[in-house]
Chain A
Amino acid sequence: MAQQTLQPPAVTAVLRARPRRQALRKITVTSVITWAAAACFALVLVALVTSVVIESFATQWRGGWWPGGFTGSWYGQAWRGGVSQALTATFQVAVVVVLIALVIGVPAGYALARRSFPGKSAVMLFLLLPVMLPPLTYAVQLSALIYRIGLGGTLTGVIIANLVPIVPLVVLVTVPFVERIAPETESAARVFGAGTFRLFLHVLVPLLRPGIAAAAILAMVRVLGAFELTFFISGPQSQTLVVALYGAASNPAGAAPPLIAAMSVFYMATAVVLLLIGLRFVSPADAVSTGRR
């Protein structure tokens, strides 16, 4: 099972699968039900996104198929009313978290991929726990500690909290990518006189670039959407976009719906851009299955 965990199944599957048209041509009751259900799901999703975008341009929309009038002013209002600050905080947190996580996580992923040693599965399990357990099970304890050492509400505190699930995630994403590099490559570099440092810098890092990119993008997406951890630790100056959005949406006497929708569009746009960049590096199934079995 350990071996299976380390294989990137989606990649091999994509390489191996051939188009089979005849299988698609057959229409059965189960296939109709399956596709109808999938279509319903897709329809709800598309309608959801569309309605948020329309709402963000509406002067007012109190039900009905279409709003009364359109305006672009909500975007300016949202931008000035906190989005610019939240977006800055989000990117600061995301960049710092990703950099630190890569520096700590990629070497560990390399060691786990190259060596099999007693207790390796225990180390894997240990690193899996923060990725698998929902953040709510440890967010409060962590925030209590962070407040206690005086970093509560600061950007540093938010960065520390977000690192907790991201470092193990980077380790687990790196492992299959290292396994794809033939160990002979490293031996060859050693034969030609490369020391450990040069080996890493000139051989492994360039070969690992896809893996590093995948880990970085997955980590970015996670930080962008990490609600619970940031929610419990951030202050007004250090909240990320998703926390600001929740704050606006959960306050019954809060902002006008189109204003919240405009904030949502900023958030959606960021997420879509990251997703599009990510799909160039990561196979979709890897995105959820890595380190989750």
Chain B
Amino acid sequence: MTAVIPAGRSAPGAGFLRRSLAGRGVDAVLILLIPAVAFTALLFVYPYIYGITISLQPQGGGGALANYRNFFSDPYLRQTIWNTLRLALPAAAVSVGFAFPLAYRVRAAFRGRAVITALFLLPLTFGSVLLAEGMTEIFAPTGWVNLALGSVGLPHVQFIFNYTGTFIALLLTTVPFSFLLLAGMFGSIDRTLESAAATLGAGAAARFWRVLFPLMVPGLVTALTLAIVEAFAVFPSAVLVGQPDSATHVLSIPLYQAAQQQFNYSDASAIAVIMTIVELVVLAILFGIRSRLYRGPATSGKG
């Protein structure tokens, strides 16, 4: 972004630069930004770069890329990428599929809307550690859910300490997350668009499929993306209600073992870098899809 000075005004007097910068919004107020940007650079970007450098200095020797080579040559470790995707992608898809119709139903204000939103905020406030701990109570082989299944004549189901357990734990946080996000997006679509469609003779189904849904598709992709990001870093529930040595041996587990059990920060940083790259690839794909969708105005008011 270099300042292009128009040909007719190329006689810089005193203070011209300052005035010209101020015209583009650059003035002393921007000094207020410096602490926050410097802070983020110092404590987010710098540690990250530090992490990349130590990941290239393996503790066991063997060349700069030894950590990465070890990771990708060991099938048990390589498998963790697949294990993570196998959990995160379906969990995100299910939670968006679950939350979207509900967010559509509560787009209008009615009595009980506040109760529903508060109920959905609760699991987000609790976090996955507490939810996983609670799941070991109700989803236990003789817990309430299995007792309820038994009392209506259904067979017992092994809900926890396997893939299902971590999957349910993920849903407990990604469903409310997607719901609140989508409810906010439905709220930002101008209600008069629906009224206009109704005036022009569109029925409820047509209003949904031909008006609201196309406007919500970018929001859906965003919600899906963020749900994947959330689900991707699954850690406490993979240990507490999963099967951390096989079915839910996700990327975060070798990361934890390298850092906390072997104190090999070099190896742990390498795994964290791999995790970031896989995340960014997933994000890039979804944002690429989103950028091809409709992005025109759907909100009302002065925008």
Contact = CB atoms under 8 A, between A and B. Distances in A.
Interface of A: 1, 3-4, 7, 9-10, 12-14, 16-21, 23-24, 26, 30-31, 33-35, 37-38, 41-42, 44-45, 47-49, 51-52, 55, 62-65, 104-105, 107-108, 110-112, 114-120, 123, 126-127, 129-130, 132-145, 147, 160, 163-164, 167-168, 171, 221, 224-225, 227-228, 232, 242, 245-246, 249-250, 257, 260-261, 264, 267-268, 271-272, 274-275, 279, 284-289, 292-293
Contact of A227 (B30, B48, B129): B129
Contact of A48 (B37, B43, B129, B131): B131
A4 B43 CA distance: 29
A145 B50 contact: yes
10 contacts: A19-B111, A44-B172, A55-B137, A63-B142, A138-B51, A160-B43, A168-B40, A224-B125, A245-B133, A289-B184
B187 A17 contact: yes
The 9 closest A-B pairs by CB, nearest first: A63-B142, A13-B187, A141-B51, A134-B233, A285-B184, A9-B188, A108-B36, A225-B127, A117-B25
Contact of A140 (B118, B188, B255, B303): B255
Given A133-B279, A142-B43, A118 B1 contact: yes
Interface residues of B, number: 105
A274 B233 contact: no
A228 B303 contact: no
Nearest to A127: B40
Contacts of B229: 132-134
Nearest to B141: A63
A127 B35 CA distance: 12
A246 B129 contact: yes
B303 A62 contact: no
Contact of B105 (A13, A34, A160): A34
B202 to A, nearest CB: 15
B121 A268 contact: no
B37 A123 contact: yes
B47 interface: yes
Given A140-B51, A264-B134, 15 more contacts: A1-B295, A4-B303, A10-B188, A17-B107, A26-B204, A38-B116, A45-B122, A51-B134, A105-B36, A117-B25, A232-B259, A268-B130, A271-B130, A272-B125, A287-B180
A17 B108 contact: yes
B80 interface: no
Interface stretch (B9-17, B60-68, B71-79, B269-277): B269-277
A12 B35 contact: no
A144 B175 contact: no
A115 B44 contact: no
Nearest to A289: B184
B166 interface: no
B185 interface: yes
Contact of B235 (A10, A115, A136): A136
Contacts of A279: 118, 121
Contacts of A293: 222
Nearest to A49: B134
A284 B285 CA distance: 29
B140 A63 contact: yes
Contacts of A285: 117, 180-181, 183-184, 187
Contacts of B147: 64-65
Nearest to A246: B129
Q: Is the interface of B mostly helix, strand, loop or mixed?
A: helix
Contacts of A21: 110
B265 A117 contact: no
A138 B40 CA distance: 12
| Most chain A beta-carbon contacts within 10 A, residue among B46, B47, B175, B259 | B47
Contact of B102 (A38, A145, A286): A38
A13 B184 contact: yes
A83 B255 CA distance: 28
A126 B144 CA distance: 46
B184 A138 contact: no
B252 interface: yes
Contact of A164 (B24, B44, B108, B275): B44
